[in-house]
Structure 1
Amino acid sequence: MSAEPLSYDFRSPGRLSRERVRALQVANETFARQLSTVLSTTLRTVVHARVQSVRQVTYDEYVRTVPNPSLLAVLTFASQPGSALFQLPMGVVMSVIDRLLGGAGGRNQPIRALSEIETSLVRDLVQRVAAELTYAFENLAPVRAGLDTLESNTQFLQIAAPADPVVSTEVEIRIGDQAATATLCMTLTTLKPILASVQQVAVQAPADGPVAVAARTVEQRLQQVEIDVSVAFREVTLTSAEVFSLAVGDVVPLRHPVAEPLVVAADGVPVASATPGSHGKRLAAQIVTS
């Protein structure tokens, strides 16, 4: 314990346990990584995003820290009550729009509300960002986030009462030599089902053991890894002279019996046999043995 006195704000009491704060920290770090991936693939440049802080504050305290104007995306959830707010500084938004239109996306960008054309360009990007919340929170609870509206001034929207507690996450974004701070504000009403699941996991963890819980998590992740699957005929052996003498129009016998199934391989490892066929207008292979 520290002998130094600590300030305590009775208007914003600490209601989140250490386990819940840690769970939200991990989920938001995953969201930051997904955010950098979405921006990097969209802008075709390297974008870094990292979580700076996860704090519980009142909605009024959060709004005071939001620059005006900013891109304010109101997010709604299919399975949770309440809503959330994803905020991007307008300088970063204008730089993103500049890059989407073929520009260099420099630091000197106009700070103003978006036009209808600019709003349409940003809407698709924000919808992709909102979808990443599903992946970020999937280990805690099913979260299906969607974009509701886009605003530029906090006076035109209010997702919670001024004294209501919210969780504010600050994410540092770096696009080239440009750096800014984005925020994700989620009300406790929205987080309540998620936090309840975190508490349940915390209670069950000692009985199962941390090793067993970690093993199940790794197993679930491995089930989602994408691998290359190929369907191939029997290999053919040719001499180097035969390979060098190949020309357009030559026929190479496969020496694969018509009645013999094809080999289905996952990342080069045979896993099944299949017969060739079609599915609608596409070629297909039907598994016959596994």
Structure 2
Amino acid sequence: MADVLSQDEIDALLSAISTGEVDIDKAKSEEEEKKIKLYDFKRPDKFSKDQLRTLQMIHETFSRLITTMLSGQLRTSVQIQVTSVDQISYQEFIRSIPELTLLTIYEMGTLEGSAILEINPSIAYTIIDRLFGGNGFKELEIYREPTDIESKVMEKILSKILGYLSEAWKDVTEVMPRIEQMESNPQFIQIVGPNEMVVVISFEIKVGNKSGIMNICYPSPLIDPIVSKLSAQYWFSNLKKEKTEENFEIIRERLNKVKVPLIVNLGEIDINFNEFIKLQVGDVLSLNTSIDKSLSVLVGNKEKFKALPGLQGKKMAISIEEVIEEGSE
């Protein structure tokens, strides 16, 4: 709703027009300019804002997962957050990253095509230094290609990082990332045509007091087959899907295969350490229970049953006398 002017404001506006302080033609032209929105037909938007928001949510989950993993691997404070999600041409992406960087080209498994994971050298060499036992905080020589050993070490850590993409994407589609090659010069990488649109997800990574940028580049042909699933409605419907009887059966079947320890507490006795170390084969200990008294039966560390001791053939056995209910367990 437009603002309602008071009488004093109307009088002041009329006075400014009459004195020439306000140019009506100029004001009209400025208003027309505001209505014009530039559109480049050579670079049409391939993805809607809703689809980009879904990609952002997927990769916010991914960033939380790898934050926990890297904190444990590097044994230091690691913070990772999504800073932007943009759709640009592949040529613009290549031009936006350093001439010497750490590029990982990987397949997505179920999706045809390749994607790129790029880590800025400022943070890549900090991670390498931490993995090699350094503190990661000293000034490192970052404007060089990694050695063969450094490349192998980073390949292992990057394989773990990419593994968490499967978990992040699981509510949209199944992906199985696999590293194809690693490169340090972006000019040697051409996964799509220069004018092909790509989605670039940028992350800020902080390791201790060092920070750097990581980018994930998805070409549009890679995402096109699942673009209909990249809506918030679809994503949240998958997150909140109803539990069907089939799901219950799967859970029940898996629980039935879980092995748990069953322990019968036959009784207790207090002895001192001197008596304990003198125990020998054949010694008899008198417990504080009798043969006609119920024994506690533990499942794990929880008391679940009361039972009486006895024999089943030549084997010791118990007879369940009472089931102990504890809340809804």
Say yes or no: TM over 0.5: yes
Q: Shorter-chain TM-score: which interval? A: 0.7 to 0.9
Structure 1 or 2, whichever has the larger Rg, is 2
Equivalent position amino acid for 1:172 in 2: E
- How many angstroms does 1:242 deviate by? 4.9
- In structure 2, the residue matched to 1:161 is 193
Which of residues 95, 98, 101 in structure 2 aligns to 1:64?
Answer: 95
The 1:242/1:181 distance shift into structure 2, 3 A limit, reads same
- How many angstroms does 1:6 deviate by? 4.0
SS of alignment partner, residue 19 of structure 1: helix
- In structure 2, the residue matched to 1:125 is 157
CA distance in 2, matches of 1:246, 1:140: 65
After TM superposition, the structure 1 = structure 2 runs for residues 38-187 of structure 1, keeping only pairs within 5 Å, are 38-111=69-142, 112-187=144-219
SS of alignment partner, residue 62 of structure 1: helix
- In structure 1, the residue matched to 2:68 is 37
After TM superposition, the structure 1 = structure 2 runs for residues 248-267 of structure 1, keeping only pairs within 5 Å, are 248=277, 264-265=299-300
What CA RMSD, in Å, does the superposition of the two structures yield over aligned residues? Answer: 3.6
CA distance in 1, matches of 2:153, 2:103: 15
- How many angstroms does 1:33 deviate by? 1.2
Deviations, residues 192-229 of structure 1 (Å, cap 9, x unaligned): 23323335x84798xxxx6x962649xx8xx7xxxx97
1:195 has 2:227 as partner: yes
Equivalent residues, number: 252
Contact 1:234 1:254 in 2 (8 A): no
- In structure 1, the residue matched to 2:311 is none
CA distance in 1, matches of 2:38, 2:133: 50
The 1:171/1:213 distance shift into structure 2, 3 A limit, reads closer
The 1:106/1:19 distance shift into structure 2, 3 A limit, reads same
Deviation >3 Å, runs of 4+: 1-7, 201-205, 235-239, 241-255, 262-265, 267-271
- In structure 2, the residue matched to 1:214 is 240
- How many angstroms does 1:173 deviate by? 0.3
1:233 has 2:251 as partner: no
Equivalent position amino acid for 1:167 in 2: V
CA distance in 1, matches of 2:177, 2:303: 38
CA distance in 1, matches of 2:197, 2:119: 21
- How many angstroms does 1:146 deviate by? 0.7
- In structure 2, the residue matched to 1:274 is none
Contact 1:32 1:51 in 2 (8 A): yes
The 1:235/1:99 distance shift into structure 2, 3 A limit, reads same
Contact 2:107 2:114 in 1 (8 A): yes
- How many angstroms does 1:20 deviate by? 1.7
Contact 2:77 2:207 in 1 (8 A): yes
Q: Which runs of 5+ in 1 are unaligned?
A: 272-290
The 1:254/1:174 distance shift into structure 2, 3 A limit, reads farther
The 1:127/1:248 distance shift into structure 2, 3 A limit, reads farther
- How many angstroms does 1:64 deviate by? 1.2
CA distance in 1, matches of 2:235, 2:134: 53
Contact 1:172 1:179 in 2 (8 A): yes
CA distance in 1, matches of 2:81, 2:45: 24
Equivalent position amino acid for 2:154 in 1: V
CA distance in 2, matches of 1:246, 1:215: 62
- How many angstroms does 1:264 deviate by? 4.2
Which structure is higher in strand share? 1
Which shifted more, 15-24 or 119-128? 15-24
SS of alignment partner, residue 53 of structure 2: helix
Equivalent position amino acid for 2:263 in 1: F
Identity fraction in percent: 26
TM-score (norm 1): 0.74
The 1:55/1:234 distance shift into structure 2, 3 A limit, reads same
SS of alignment partner, residue 10 of structure 1: coil
The 1:79/1:248 distance shift into structure 2, 3 A limit, reads farther
